[in-house]
Amino acid sequence: MSQTPSKRRMRGFEPASGLVRDPLRKAGEARGFSVTRLLTQWAEVVGEDIAAQTLPVRVNYGRGGLGATLTLLTSGPAAPMVQMQSERIRERVNACYGYNAVSRVVLTQTAPTGFAEGQAMFAPAPKVQPPAPDPALLKRAEVAVSAVSDPDLRSALAILGQNVLFRAERARHRDQSEKDILKG
């Protein structure tokens, strides 16, 4: 009882990717994904920032064959930002396919069935550390509250003063940047 070469197992250890390749391909094709790389390497295809907010759900091919529609799952707050980047997503997905396969990108906020059963989990957005305040601003705030005798009140007022001065300085820089941009 000889097995065909395609069904025969290799000797020794097999790569795990070889064991899941066929089931993943069949599941992907059932959802319209003819290129499984789109599912398995989503972050590499569209970039980490977009992949943290989206999951590919389905590729629907139209009856006329004039391009497919890629459906992406996203959360409500991220939907406007993802929608603005839909052309960039389409270009990157088409680069993955190797031709202009996807003509539209559609967003959904409902939980699909299949790859993302139940609640979809997105990677948390990276936390941005605010820039450190200028030491001159810190000194100005400390000098302004130096006459207060209560140490707790003086500390609280110094923090408040630092925040107020730092925000005012940041607003000045932002306004100056906008003026520079408008001047061209």
Q: What is the pLDDT of residues 70-79, one digit of tens each?
A: 889 888 788 8
Please state, in angstroms and rounded to a whole number, the distance separating the CA atoms of residues 47 and 54.
Answer: 11
Q: What is the reported pLDDT for 112?
A: 47
Of the two residues 35 and 16, the one the predictor is more confident about is 16
Q: Measured between alpha carbons, how far is 18 from 20 in angstroms, rounded to an integer?
A: 6
In whole angstroms, give the CA distance from residue 104 to residue 67: 8
Q: 89-147: per-residue pLDDT in tens?
A: 999 988 887 778 888 899 988 654 444 454 555 655 556 566 677 788 778 888 888 89
| Residue predicted with more confidence, 99 or 182 | 99
Residue 114: its pLDDT value, please?
Answer: 47
Quick one: how far is CA 80 from the chain centroid? 13
Give the chain's mean pLDDT: 75
Q: How far apart are CA 83 and CA 39, in angstroms?
A: 20
Q: The whole model's pTM is what? A: 0.46
Q: How many CB atoms lie within 10 A of CB 43?
A: 13
Share of the chain above pLDDT 90, in %: 7
**Confidence band of 88 (pLDDT split at 50, 70, 90):** very high
pLDDT value at residue 13: 65
Which pLDDT does position 26 carry in this prediction?
63
Q: Find the Cα–Cα–Cα–Cα dihedral 44, 50, 53, 55, rounded to 10°.
A: -50
Helix (H) or strand (E) holding 70: strand 68-74
Q: Is 169 a residue whose pLDDT tops 50?
A: yes
How confident is the model at residue 62, as a pLDDT? 72
Q: What average pLDDT does this structure show over 157-183? A: 77
More confident residue, 31 or 25: 25
Return the pLDDT at 30.
52
